[in-house]
A and B are shown apart, each in its own frame.
Chain A
């Protein structure tokens, strides 16, 4: 990976796709200008089209194409079965793991394995990052709700405290905002979660939740709730580099991902076209968190 520019990473697919869809997606992704690819099911343990071995297989192919491969752990761990899967993931032997909850931190730190610290671990201050640095953290993700100003300060304070691990920012996609034991997609279909018939697989980009005035407020994705608008920080990549952010994460979507990656690649190379009113894909955009505002706000549609 070149070190003089911002790295691009492809986040895990948050939605439930078919096996063929994942395989095709990653076959294409092997040729995209991303440096890091994070694989795995982070949302729901009932989604079983892909087994650990399948992810490992895809991971090896991506590694051969020069990608750094990461395996992400499930964010909400609820059962003994979840813990067994987590153990297998942590012990995979090939790829570094992104820890998305403290169960994963425990498995990885007690086995003295290095890890990436995920955004849902709530890393808001240098003291917390110091704890994780001493337990094996190699890279960390800023909380999705953190502003540019707070992050600038946090990175600077971390460096002062001797915590120099690289930081990753969620730069593109619907923001992961909440996890529940209830499945909201199954609820829409009036099915109990235990017999959900995998209805979330019908929605490869999630299910829009709108206000009664048709504003897209959230996106339902099984037990996970994502933002209604799609965060796009393409125009902030040079600011990120200046602040000391090392990696910009792009969250996969079913349609238009090659264009998204290409646009970010051009932006990090300084080829940002003049402010483009057209979205990369057909989704409402937001960037409010970055400017210390409500996450749903979009600086490009505001006046004054």
Chain B
């Protein structure tokens, strides 16, 4: 199984490669990718340097152009595709059907991976993308149980990549418009979710409050650990109860599923987090490299090392991890 790691900038890319990533993925500095953060992502020059670095170490580089081209910006997105192809990336990670069509026609020799934002949750959906655009691989949304992944893996016409570790989107990716409902900006249109420019923190007599475009997302008592106000991870009131009505602040960690994922023929495991620091990427990549190496040596006797689990928990949102939808009970 290939270990695919996030590269929000050149130092993160190099550290991921050094720690044992088989492939890294990056985006350009604009709304064409789903992690548009200030100070993050690559210029043409930096991308060239990064690709040279990875290739000289025998590693692959994917370019994420996985937002949806907006009515007034088609050329911005096609330019990104052309640019990535000219840079010599090993694959394009795309979501929009029109852009997939463009890449198929203009750069038929550059592999196309379906982004998680393409929302393919069945083998029929994968077949559609495969027949129409010849995709080589698809990244599966984080909404499927392991049994559903198994069914899908049995009949998929393309390679499968699954999320291994990092922030947990609990809505089917690519079909979540919650962020634009509150802020006007969404993953699909702007490559952002609950964007920082709309976040306000305020100490009040009721406690520390986090707001997103004025909407109260959470309120913390003294000593409570406060998290980034991602809108689906706040505490809300439903029918008289106040609780994490959608999801707790927690991260996905599938380390213990590795033997099963390997047996299903999953081609790659993906680490989320282009917005994370190079130090974070380096630690996570290192742990997953060790795990995958141990898995290959003795797949039947694989157990996650407690130090790996502790190391990953430390790097997680709310310091807790979950198997998310992979585990049926979570639903």
Taking beta carbons and an 8 Å cutoff, which residues of A are in contact with B? 75-80, 82-83, 86, 101-103, 105-107, 109-110, 120-122, 124-132, 135, 143-146, 150-151, 153-154, 157, 175, 177-184, 187-188, 192-194, 207-215, 217-218, 220, 225, 227, 288-289, 292-296
* Top 8 A-B residue pairs of the complex, sorted by shortest distance between their CB atoms: A127-B98, A128-B98, A106-B128, A102-B125, A295-B181, A181-B143, A103-B124, A178-B171
Q: Using A77-B124, A78-B145, A122-B188 as known contacts, list a sample of 6 further A-B pairs with CB atoms less than 8 Å apart, ordered by residue number in A.
A: A106-B128, A180-B170, A181-B331, A182-B325, A193-B331, A296-B182
CA distance A105 to B129 in the complex (A): 10
- Known pairs A106-B127, A225-B246; A209 contacts B238 (CB<8 A): yes
User: How many residue pairs at the A-B interface have CB separations less than 8 Å?
Assistant: 224
A135/B181 in contact, CB under 8 A: no
Most buried by B among A121, A125, A145, A184: A125
Contact status A178-B176, CB under 8 Å:
yes
- The number of residues on chain B lying at the interface, defined by a beta carbon within 8 Å of a beta carbon of chain A, is 69
Q: Which residues of A contact B182 (CB under 8 A)?
A: 217, 294-296
CB contacts (< 8 Å) of B54 on chain A: these are: none
| Residues on B with beta carbons closer than 8 Å to the beta carbon of A179 | 171-172, 175-176
For A132, what are the chain B residues with a Cβ–Cβ distance below 8 Å?
A: 97
| Residues of chain A within 8 A of B125, CB atoms compared | 77, 101-103, 105-106
The minimal Cβ–Cβ distance linking A133 to chain B, given in whole angstroms, is: 11
- CB contact list, B120-137 vs A, under 8 A: 120-125, 127-129, 131-132
Contacts of B120 in A (CB 8 A): 102
- Whether A188 pairs with B239 at a CB distance below 8 angstroms is yes
In Å, the complex CA distance between A103 and B68 comes to: 19
Q: Is the CB of A82 within 8 A of B181?
A: no
* CB within 8 Å of A: which B154-203 residues: 170-172, 174-178, 180-184, 186, 188-189
Q: Which residue of A lies closest to B120 (CB)?
A: A102
Are the C-beta atoms of A144 and B177 separated by less than 8 Å?
Answer: yes
Q: Can you report 17 residue pairs joining A to B where beta carbons are below 8 Å apart?
A: A76-B172, A76-B175, A78-B148, A102-B120, A102-B125, A103-B128, A122-B119, A128-B96, A179-B172, A187-B245, A209-B236, A209-B238, A211-B215, A213-B216, A217-B182, A218-B236, A296-B182
Cα(A289)–Cα(B127), bound, Å: 33
Contact mask for chain B residues 130-153; partner A; CB cutoff 8 A; 1 contact, 0 none: 011000000000011100100100
On chain A, the residues within 8 Å of B102 by CB distance are: 127
- The reply to whether B69 and A125 form a contact with Cβ atoms under 8 Å apart is yes
**Contacts A102-B125, A145-B189, A181-B325 given; does A295 touch B97 at CB 8 Å:** no
Max chain A C-beta neighbours (<10 A), residue from B96, B125, B180: B180
Min CB–CB distance B96 → chain A (angstroms): 6
> Cβ of B176: which chain A residues have Cβ within 8 Å of it?
177-179
